[in-house]
């Protein structure tokens, strides 16, 4: 058996191959069936001629519709008209699983494609996105490994709320209430006292009620935390990691990028250092561009778009006002109204892919901010303990994997960066 990608080559011309796959397109004229076969690696045209295969097999070839699974044997031949320039001339057509009339045809509504997600994920675009995503994550894992980080497994069921409490998913946990994790951050912080440099890849959950093209209720989060690291060094880690992830896609996914109409040359530029822009400068820039914002305004999708649309590499926005960010960030001694933090925005209008900061080490400040937030300190005693036994300066960040996929694949909507998007309106299929 050969992979379709490998069958599409001069080396195989004149040789007999066996391929296994699913019918992607098919038409017949007279005594010949032209079927395009798809496997996980690509598509190839198969011609089945009456007389070249047993009659019963030819009969099967004429009735096998889109998505029927088949095993084909035949000789590879060059044919300029065929997709990829080669075809297989079948000597055997084995029907394995006949498909009923496939419910997805060429032009379908977004809603129908979401209802039929379990079938739509077979599409070539979805397949390409899945491969790019895997290459991004692999590139990230390798970068972490090469730089001395240890992968760890924080819990998903938790009692803490690192981010916005209005987006917590609550669950019944035996006889008490627990939450689905919004971020592994606090647990990663606890692990730096032994491992120093850690990262985790986990699902994170946010009950985001607004429907936006960049929010999921369940997303994959790549987070890291390191001891002895300040916010500037934290940004260096981010730019090193992001460029390694993107370069791995360029190296491994040229076919997929072509299919997604993403020019690999535009991704090759993602090399450190990335620009840094203070929150204050971002405000000035936005005002010049006609946005109605002032110091203290949050940056939403619209503002981030203006900040990045004319850029071709990512940019850090640094030192946000405290009221815009969570309680755990380190106060900026140079401007106490702000934190030592950064968001990394992807270029070309895509916006935030990472949120990171140096962490507050002063328990009094943390307690004060938790109280302001209305949090019960009971759930945070363990977190406060971390500052009592050998506290160290430390920093970390969280990267939204579907966000980086959306940007790298140039997707219009984040739902296409994950096989089964979970949004306010959908848990099926």
Mapped onto helix, strand or coil, the DSSP state of residue 316 is strand
Q: Are 386 and 189 in contact (CB under 8 A)?
A: yes
Shortest gap between Cβ of 223 and ligand NSS (angstroms)? 4
By beta-carbon proximity to ligand NSS, the closer residue of 208 and 233 is 208
By beta-carbon proximity to ligand NSS, the closer residue of 314 and 396 is 396
Query: At which residue do the structure tokens 């097999």 appear?
Result: 57
| Alpha carbon distance 145, 248 (integer Å) | 14
**Closest to 344 measured CA to CA, from 251, 266, 275:** 275
Catalog residues that contact ligand NSS under the rule CB under 6 A.
Answer: 162-163, 183, 185, 206, 208, 215-216, 219, 221, 223, 352-356, 396-398, 400, 402-403
CA dist list (Å): 410 to 249, 267, 350: 13, 11, 9
Shortest gap between Cβ of 281 and ligand NSS (angstroms)? 20
By beta-carbon proximity to ligand NSS, the closer residue of 74 and 355 is 355
Name the token pair of 13: 């011309």
By beta-carbon proximity to ligand NSS, the closer residue of 7 and 404 is 404
Mapped onto helix, strand or coil, the DSSP state of residue 165 is helix
Those residues whose C-beta lies under 8 Å from the C-beta of residue 12, and which sit 6 or more positions away, are: 2, 6, 76, 86
Shortest gap between Cβ of 185 and ligand NSS (angstroms)? 4
By beta-carbon proximity to ligand NSS, the closer residue of 139 and 162 is 162
Name the token pair of 226: 């390191």
Shortest gap between Cβ of 422 and ligand NSS (angstroms)? 10
Shortest gap between Cβ of 245 and ligand NSS (angstroms)? 13
| Alpha carbon distance 294, 291 (integer Å) | 9
Shortest gap between Cβ of 186 and ligand NSS (angstroms)? 8
Query: At which residue do the structure tokens 């050969």 appear?
Result: 2
Shortest gap between Cβ of 62 and ligand NSS (angstroms)? 46
By beta-carbon proximity to ligand NSS, the closer residue of 93 and 220 is 220
E-strand ranges in 42-102 read 42-49, 69-78, 86-97
By beta-carbon proximity to ligand NSS, the closer residue of 72 and 242 is 242
Kindly list the strands in the beta sheet with 157-158, ordered across the sheet, starting from the edge strand earlier in the chain: 157-158, 176-180, 170-173
By beta-carbon proximity to ligand NSS, the closer residue of 12 and 403 is 403
| Alpha carbon distance 311, 211 (integer Å) | 26
DSSP letter for each residue of 183-196: -SHHHHHHHHHHHS
Cis, peptide link before residue 273, omega less than 30° from 0: yes
By beta-carbon proximity to ligand NSS, the closer residue of 211 and 336 is 211
Mapped onto helix, strand or coil, the DSSP state of residue 91 is strand
Shortest gap between Cβ of 162 and ligand NSS (angstroms)? 5
| Alpha carbon distance 423, 126 (integer Å) | 18
Shortest gap between Cβ of 215 and ligand NSS (angstroms)? 4
Name the token pair of 76: 């590879």
DSSP 8-state assignment for residue 12: G
Shortest gap between Cβ of 330 and ligand NSS (angstroms)? 12
Q: Are 340 and 355 in contact (CB under 8 A)?
A: no
H/E stretch holding 405: helix 401-408
Find the length of the chain: 429
Shortest gap between Cβ of 221 and ligand NSS (angstroms)? 6
By beta-carbon proximity to ligand NSS, the closer residue of 183 and 231 is 183
By beta-carbon proximity to ligand NSS, the closer residue of 24 and 327 is 327
């Amino acid at each position: 058996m050969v992979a379709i990608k490998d069958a599409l080559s001069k080396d195989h011309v004149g040789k007999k191959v066996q391929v296994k796959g699913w019918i992607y397109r098919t038409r017949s004229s007279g005594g010949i069936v032209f079927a395009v076969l798809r496997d996980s690696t690509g598509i190839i045209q198969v011609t089945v001629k009456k007389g070249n295969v047993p009659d019963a097999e030819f009969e099967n070839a004429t009735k096998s519709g889109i998505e029927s699974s088949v095993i084909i044997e035949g000789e590879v031949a060059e044919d300029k008209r065929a997709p990829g320039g080669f075809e297989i001339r079948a000597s055997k057509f084995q029907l394995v699983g006949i498909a009923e009339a496939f419910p997805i045809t060429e032009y379908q509504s977004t809603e129908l494609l979401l209802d039929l997600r379990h079938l739509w994920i077979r599409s070539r675009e979805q397949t390409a996105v899945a491969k790019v995503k895997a290459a991004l994550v692999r590139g990230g894992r390798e970068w972490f490994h090469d730089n001395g980080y240890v992968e760890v497994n924080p819990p998903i069921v938790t009692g803490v709320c690192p981010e916005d409490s209005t987006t917590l998913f609550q669950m019944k946990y035996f006889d008490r209430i627990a939450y689905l994790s919004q971020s592994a951050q606090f647990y990663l912080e606890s692990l730096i006292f032994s491992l120093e440099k850690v990262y985790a890849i986990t699902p994170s959950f946010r009950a985001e009620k607004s429907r936006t093209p960049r929010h999921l209720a369940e997303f994959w989060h790549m987070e890291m935390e390191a001891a002895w690291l300040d916010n500037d060094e934290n940004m260096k880690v981010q730019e090193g990691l992001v460029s390694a992830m993107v370069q791995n896609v360029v190296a491994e996914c040229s076919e997929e990028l072509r299919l997604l109409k993403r020019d690999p040359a535009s991704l090759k530029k993602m090399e450190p250092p990335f620009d840094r822009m203070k929150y204050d400068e971002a405000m000035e820039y936005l005002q010049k561009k006609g946005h109605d914002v002032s110091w203290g305004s949050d940056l939403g999708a619209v503002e981030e778009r203006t900040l990045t649309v004319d850029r071709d590499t990512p940019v850090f926005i640094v030192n946000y006002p405290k009221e815009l960010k969570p309680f755990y960030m380190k106060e900026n001694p140079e401007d106490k109204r702000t934190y030592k933090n950064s968001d990394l925005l992807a270029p070309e209008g895509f916006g935030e892919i990472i949120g990171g900061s140096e962490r507050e080490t002063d328990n009094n400040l943390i307690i004060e901010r938790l109280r302001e937030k209305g949090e019960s300190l009971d759930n945070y005693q363990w977190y406060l303990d971390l500052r009592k036994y050998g506290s160290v300066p430390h920093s970390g960040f969280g990267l939204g994997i579907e966000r980086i996929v959306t940007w790298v694949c140039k997707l219009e909507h984040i739902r296409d960066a994950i096989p089964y998007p979970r949004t306010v309106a959908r848990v099926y299929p």
